[in-house]
């Protein structure tokens, strides 16, 4: 450690408070102990020094942005290093003619979007934590968000990366061109790799023109989540693609109301909310409302306020405020949402645990959660069992065990249920090729 301090100086911290602050993310995962040091890097050169040192001394490294991840991917390793990229937080360039942004990995997603807005452009992906999450973290997890229905997830807007490999080499992937058919898609390989293949030190992101026209919010109340799921399937089979299409069950809305009171109330068991944007936004919203009415909505209207969408964004904070919330992140084909919600109801009845569900409904990505009565090992295990049953139900429907939050340290046990042995083995081989010593987030993601 003295050797590392000699090379990097005071960017290396062994202060107990700093170690504790950087040891965990916002997930329920608990670190096994404190790291030996936190290295708050300011440049790719410093990252190279850190990883060379870690490889030489066989020290495990976890990579951290803002720590907003919910799957335990940024947890410290006992006696390991935490590499914090939060200080690398500049917008390096907004190239408006080419609709490209080049940024440090520690820039907050909302800050990047606001920088693009000054040029009438937008950075489209918007995770719920967009005001605190870093772009590097969203690249590492291939984050989604509310706007991703219309604009795609993080993978769809990243043009290139600068990455430091485990042995300290620095590589650049992708390009700033609109088209690129050269070589393997290394950019895509690093996106969503959760820091297991390299450390992202620069991001080249594609921007889009900011939508022109009004924004119209719509909502629909349904007697059941299954009925709302059927309405979503109808909407997604139509010619209209809303900017956002979100779904909350009554349990989720009630929890938000208890902790963050608003004027939003659930008349039925499910609330579908969304937004259309553009010169024909009102017409699109009315088409969605009509589809909801045809699908049996108790109430459907266009023209609601932003408060509806704010309520959706407050579900996770409300669950955290309510107690020990255990959640999962599964995705199914949108056409099977209704069936999936019926399975969740059956699982809730079978286990005796109420399930709170919200969803990025248009892309079939849902976040069921269970509130554990206490933090005893037995109670947590029982709540985890409910989520396991829900995840297995998603797999039965051709779904996946994570739609946007990735695997981290919490979900590795279920990878073998989604991947066949050869496919999973190939991923382990890729990990071994890029990180032969195994210092980068060992035991996570795959």
Q: Taking Cα atoms as reference points, which of 113, 125, 185, 137 lies closest to residue 26? A: 137
Q: Helices 337-351 and 377-396: crossing angle, nearest 10°? A: 150
Q: Taking Cα atoms as reference points, which of 149, 378, 414 lies closest to residue 276? A: 149
3-state secondary structure of 444: coil
The DSSP code sequence of 366-408 is EEEEEEESSS-HHHHHHHHHHHHHHHHHHHHTT-BS-SSS--T
Q: Helices 225-236 and 337-351: crossing angle, nearest 10°? A: 160
**Cβ atoms of residues 444 and 192 within 8 Å:** no
pLDDT computed for residue 15 by the predictor: 96
Question: What is the spatial distance between Cα 17 and Cα 202, in angstroms, rounded to a whole number?
Answer: 29
Look at the block and give the residue holding tokens 């035991």: 443
Question: What is the spatial distance between Cα 47 and Cα 60, in angstroms, rounded to a whole number?
Answer: 14
- CATH code linked to domain 2-84: 3.30.43.10
The DSSP code sequence of 266-328 is -SSSEEEEEEEEETTHHHHHHHHHHHHHHTT-SEEEEEE-THHHHHHHTHHHHHHHHSEEEE-
Strands of 41-99, DSSP E:
61-64, 81-84, 91-95
Question: What is the spatial distance between Cα 248 and Cα 246, in angstroms, rounded to a whole number?
Answer: 7
CB atoms within 10 A of CB 56: 13
For the chain, the structural domain boundaries read: 2-84, 91-209, 214-396
Backbone angles phi, psi at 379, to 5 degrees: -70, -45
Query: What are the residues whose beta carbons fall under 8 Å from the beta carbon of 257, sequence distance 6 or more?
Result: 264, 265
Backbone angles phi, psi at 29, to 5 degrees: -65, 140
Q: What is the pLDDT of residues 34-53, one digit of tens each?
A: 999 999 999 999 999 999 99
- CATH code linked to domain 91-209: 3.30.465.10
Number of residues written out for the chain: 446
User: What pLDDT tens digit does each residue of the chain (446 aa) get?
Assistant: 999 999 999 999 999 999 999 999 988 888 999 999 999 999 999 999 999 999 999 999 999 999 999 899 999 999 999 999 999 999 999 999 999 999 999 999 999 999 999 999 999 998 888 999 999 999 999 999 889 999 999 999 999 999 999 999 999 999 999 999 999 999 999 999 999 999 999 999 999 999 888 999 999 999 999 999 999 999 999 999 999 999 999 999 899 888 888 767 778 899 999 999 999 999 999 999 999 999 999 999 998 677 888 888 888 888 878 877 888 999 999 999 999 999 999 999 999 999 999 999 999 999 999 988 888 989 999 999 999 999 999 999 999 999 998 999 988 999 999 999 999 999 999 999 999 999 999 999 99
What architecture is the 214-396 domain classified under in CATH?
Answer: 3-Layer(aba) Sandwich (3.40)
Question: What is the spatial distance between Cα 416 and Cα 398, in angstroms, rounded to a whole number?
Answer: 15
């Amino acid at each position: 450690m003295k050797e590392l301090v000699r090379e990097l100086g005071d960017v290396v911290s062994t202060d107990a408070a700093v170690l504790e602050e950087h040891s965990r993310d916002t997930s329920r995962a608990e670190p096994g102990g404190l790291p030996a040091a936190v290295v708050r890097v300011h440049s790719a050169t410093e990252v190279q020094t850190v990883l060379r040192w870690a490889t030489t001394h066989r020290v495990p490294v976890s990579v951290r942005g803002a720590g907003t991840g919910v799957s335990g991917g940024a947890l410290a390793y006992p006696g390991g290093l935490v590499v914090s990229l939060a200080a690398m937080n500049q917008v390096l360039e907004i190239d408006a003619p080419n609709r490209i942004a080049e940024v440090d990995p520690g820039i907050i997603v909302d800050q990047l979007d606001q920088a693009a807005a000054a040029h009438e452009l937008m950075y489209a992906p918007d995770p719920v934590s967009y005001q605190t999450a870093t772009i590097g973290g969203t690249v590492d997890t291939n984050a989604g968000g509310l706007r991703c229905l219309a604009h795609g997830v993080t993978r769809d807007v990243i043009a290139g990366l600068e990455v430091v490999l485990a042995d300290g080499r620095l590589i650049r992937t992708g390009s700033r061109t609109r088209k690129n058919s050269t070589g393997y898609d290394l950019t895509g390989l690093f996106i969503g790799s959760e820091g297991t293949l390299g450390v992202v030190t620069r991001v080249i992101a594609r921007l889009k023109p900011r939508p022109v026209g009004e924004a119209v919010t719509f909502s629909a109340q349904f007697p059941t989540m299954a009925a709302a799921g059927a309405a979503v399937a109808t909407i997604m089979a139509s010619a209209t693609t809303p900017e956002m299409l979100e779904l909350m069950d009554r349990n989720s809305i009630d929890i938000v109301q208890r902790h963050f009171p608003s004027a939003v109330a659930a008349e039925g068991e499910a609330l579908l909310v969304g937004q259309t944007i553009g010169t024909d936004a009102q017409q699109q919203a009315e088409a969605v409302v009509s589809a909801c009415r045809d699908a049996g909505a108790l109430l459907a209207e266009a023209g609601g306020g932003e408060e509806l969408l704010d309520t959706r964004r407050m579900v996770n904070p409300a669950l955290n405020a309510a107690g020990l919330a255990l959640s999962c992140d599964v995705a199914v084909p949108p056409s099977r949402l209704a069936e999936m919600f019926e399975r969740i109801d059956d699982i809730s009845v079978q286990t005796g645990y109420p399930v709170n569900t919200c969803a990025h409904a248009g892309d079939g990505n849902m976040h069921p959660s269970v509130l554990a009565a206490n933090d005893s090992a037995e109670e947590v295990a029982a709540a985890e069992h409910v989520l396991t049953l829900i995840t297995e139900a998603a797999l039965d429907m051709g779904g996946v065990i994570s739609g946007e939050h990735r695997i981290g340290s919490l979900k590795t046990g279920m990878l073998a249920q989604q991947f066949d042995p050869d496919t999973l083995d190939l991923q382990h081989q890729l990990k071994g090729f890029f990180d032969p010593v195994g210092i980068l987030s060992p035991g996570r993601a795959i």
